[in-house]
Structure 1
Amino acid sequence: MTEAPTPEEAAARAAAIAAGLDPADPAAILAALIRCPSVTPREGGALALIEALLARQGFDVARPVFEEAGTEPVENLFASIGEAGPHLVFAGHTDVVPPGTLGDWTSDPFAGEIVAGEMVGRGAVDMKGGIAAFLAAYARHARRNGPPPGRLSFLVTGDEEGPAVNGTVKLLDWAKARGERFDGCLVGEPTNPSVLGEMVKIGRRGSLSGEVRVAGTQGHVAYPHLADNPVRAAVQIAESLLATPLDEGTGTFQPSNLEITAIETGNASVNVIGARCSIFFNVRFNDRWTIDTLKAELAARIAAGAAAGHLRPGRPAAGYELLWRERPSAAFSTGGDAAGGGGALTGALTAAIHQMTGRRPELSTSGGTSDARFIKDHCPVIEFGLVGKTMHMSNERVALSDLEGLTEIYEAFIARWFAAHA
């Protein structure tokens, strides 16, 4: 596995590599990006490489670093070209998840080797491939047509695979404070399940996580009258959360879903009644709910389950504490028409996909969350990228034909989006 370079080494290496790259060649760009070991939160030279490539083409590039207490500092990139007119932004991330067990890979995960027409490497799909394709798409568009009639920007973070605290959300606020206003955003996450061109993400379900801590009294299992078993109430609370579906879905979203992800006591002894039990859960929810209304519904279900879940017959109802975990995100949909604010955005992308592949993509809100949940507060946003079958897996890889196909789609999208705003 390649060792992480120092910041100085990364910058020097990036400049040298960028000088030898054709900015319109997505495969060469992707190989160079994969060779930058940018495991969250390390920059690894990836942003330095993008900076060097874009600076060569006349982009104004900034590299803000954000941090806050309890987190590591994260490097980011914002690069723009053009002045007045409509403003299109491409968003993505260069950070990648760890490669895992190196023995599970057929080649170095940070080598970018080509095997049987596919480039193998960590980040090939998620999402250095999308970044490489859009970089090449812009270069091709500029060669053929000159710069777009407006403003085009790259908003790239190194904190998407991490806690997402010092990345896109802060970078957006930083750009806004500088006076940047966006008219539309394309996120290059891998969106296609099997074939390039089959799915565009026009929104995402919300995500809400919580923990219920049930209190009991520790004791010996042979003397239960001297103890209170919190597991009894925890089971009832879990049943109360799961028993009734949250909804039946909407025209845009699938049904909301709650999953109990763990029930833990921290007790490894079979002859001890534990003093506490925690229930962990996550909900992926649709636009029938806001974060606040969903919290209220779940709190009511938990209260009902606790009231029914006595620690032992004849004793008071269980005591518990409800804690909301992580940063919740609301469900959102850009929409496929003007009413959703994303008509031109969705229309330009779906037309470009059909032009280049002959497919009419499904407009979907399925899957997990992405940094689009932050971007939606600044402008209409949609997502489209590579086939995601191998993301986060050993031997993550992308077909070179798909990489070229995505570049062609992005180039057509750039032309169509700016034409729609002329």
Structure 2
Amino acid sequence: MSAPANSDVFDLTVDLVSRASITPDDAGCQALIAGRLQAAGFNCEHLRFGAVDNLWATHGSGAPVLVLLGHTDVVPTGPVEAWASDPFKPEVRDGNLYGRGTADMKGSVAAFVVAAEQYVAAHPQHTGTLAVLVTSDEEGDAIDGVRHVATVFAERGQGIDWCITGEPSSTDTLGDLLRVGRRGSLTGTLTVKGVQGHVAYPHKARNPIHQAAAALAELTARHWDDGYESFPPTSLQVSNIHAGTGASNVIPGELQVLFNLRYNPHWDAPKLEAEIAALLQRHGLEYALKWHRSGEPFYTPEGRLRSVAREVLGEFAGSAPEESTGGGTSDARFIAPLGAQCIEVGPVNATIHQIDEHVRVADLERLPDLYRVLIERLLA
């Protein structure tokens, strides 16, 4: 491996990526991080729920509370033979560091650690609280990770003023996009009940596909809204439909439909669930509907966090960043309801979850400086 000389963030990223922390297995990443942060003067609390590890590290006290939020778990690699190099043996090629988690998001976590160490060394008596929160359950079910930690924080009365999530947010160059919110995500599993029978005797059966067709057509054609500030319009996508026994001469007795809504702050999950239940009932279906609420939308309005981030990213990227609420979801959706303003700032996301995931070494080298400057200006 051709590595940059004396690069703390590079070495730490390589160490983290070398650990096969496929969700929800942390594979020792958080112990490594905690050891470094404790040596820098942070108080570290390990919060393990079920099979999930969470680390809460703090330095200083009182308000404002600035949290650096990340995750140590990664998605599965897919077929290892499809990778140009072992996904858990990081390798530098053509100025890029390859390996699972380099971009999403062990590079950012390593940069958080280095930036935090540098900041408290330079400002041991800083105002407020600097905190690092990492979980091993962001890429998985997201039940016993930050969602659970946020519940514990609410019970404790732990306040958070600002949260910077290190998700890979940049589009082409480091700092060219500032994420200031995320859409909500709601998944429905619909089971429409019919009566199985022979296709030659439809009067003795009840075909759930035929019964559901009009309802599904209305559901997928519905215009939910026109968007909300910088949020795109709410959308519903059917991701799977399944029915039948495999035989062409059998009317199925059941139809299953899986669908997902990505929605803006015009809605919340209970309102959407009620709207869809009313539609299905209007069509006279016999059905069961199971919901999974991944998280409500959040939005950080104009204020100190956004203005500071805009200024810093502009300096790093050479021009003002695009301010966006696009993309999927992140663990910031669990922190925002605590009253925190949340943004996402991280490396280029072009290869996340893909074969041969990688991050530019030059970007990785700059990340600690970017995060440190954000910390310095917010806690000044």
TM-score above 0.5, yes or no:
yes
Match of 2:70 among 92, 112, 134: 92
Match of 1:325 among 291, 308, 315: 291
- Amino acid aligned to 1:198: D
TM-aligned CA deviation for residue 54 of structure 1: 0.8
Taking the aligned partners of 2:341 and 2:313, their CA distance within structure 1 comes to 19
Match of 2:209 among 227, 231, 242: 231
The residue correspondences of 1:343-422 to structure 2 (distance < 5 A) are 343-378=303-338, 379-419=340-380
Aligned-CA RMSD value: 1.8
Contact kept in structure 1, 2:37 and 2:117, CA below 8 Å: no
Taking the aligned partners of 2:190 and 2:70, their CA distance within structure 1 comes to 35
Taking the aligned partners of 2:135 and 2:93, their CA distance within structure 1 comes to 29
Taking the aligned partners of 2:294 and 2:58, their CA distance within structure 1 comes to 31
Give per-residue Cα distances to partners, 1:152-185, cap 9 Å, x unaligned.
1111101111111111122233345455322211
TM-aligned CA deviation for residue 100 of structure 1: 1.0
The structure whose RCO (Cα within 8 Å, separation 6+) is larger is 2
- Amino acid aligned to 1:195: T
Task: Call closer, same or farther: CA 1:42–1:266 in 2, change over 3 Å.
Answer: farther
- Amino acid aligned to 2:314: H
- Amino acid aligned to 1:345: L
Match of 1:135 among 103, 108, 113: 113
The residue correspondences of 1:195-344 to structure 2 (distance < 5 A) are 195-304=173-282, 306-307=283-284, 319-335=285-301, 337=302, 343-344=303-304
- Amino acid aligned to 1:331: P
Contact kept in structure 2, 1:240 and 1:302, CA below 8 Å: no
Asked if 1:37 is matched to 2:3, the reply is no
Taking the aligned partners of 1:248 and 1:85, their CA distance within structure 2 comes to 38
Contact kept in structure 2, 1:34 and 1:121, CA below 8 Å: yes
Contact kept in structure 1, 2:244 and 2:253, CA below 8 Å: no
Give the aligned partner of residue 45 of structure 2. 62
Contact kept in structure 2, 1:212 and 1:320, CA below 8 Å: no
Contact kept in structure 1, 2:40 and 2:121, CA below 8 Å: no
Q: Secondary structure at the match of 2:111?
A: helix
Task: Call closer, same or farther: CA 1:405–1:147 in 2, change over 3 Å.
Answer: farther
TM-aligned CA deviation for residue 406 of structure 1: 2.2
Q: Secondary structure at the match of 2:257?
A: strand
Give per-residue Cα distances to partners, 1:68-108, cap 9 Å, x unaligned.
xxxxx211111111123422111110001111100011111
Contact kept in structure 2, 1:141 and 1:147, CA below 8 Å: no
Contact kept in structure 2, 1:203 and 1:332, CA below 8 Å: yes
TM-aligned CA deviation for residue 320 of structure 1: 2.0
Q: Secondary structure at the match of 1:377?
A: helix
**Which range moves more in the overlay, 36-45 or 80-89?**
80-89
Identity of aligned residues (%): 39
TM-aligned CA deviation for residue 224 of structure 1: 2.0
- Amino acid aligned to 2:316: M
Q: Secondary structure at the match of 1:166?
A: coil
Asked if 1:109 is matched to 2:87, the reply is yes
- Amino acid aligned to 2:172: S
TM-aligned CA deviation for residue 233 of structure 1: 1.3
- Amino acid aligned to 2:366: G
TM-score in terms of structure 1 length: 0.85
TM-aligned CA deviation for residue 352 of structure 1: 1.1
Structure with bigger gyration radius: 1
TM-aligned CA deviation for residue 262 of structure 1: 1.4
Contact kept in structure 2, 1:238 and 1:279, CA below 8 Å: no
- Amino acid aligned to 1:382: I
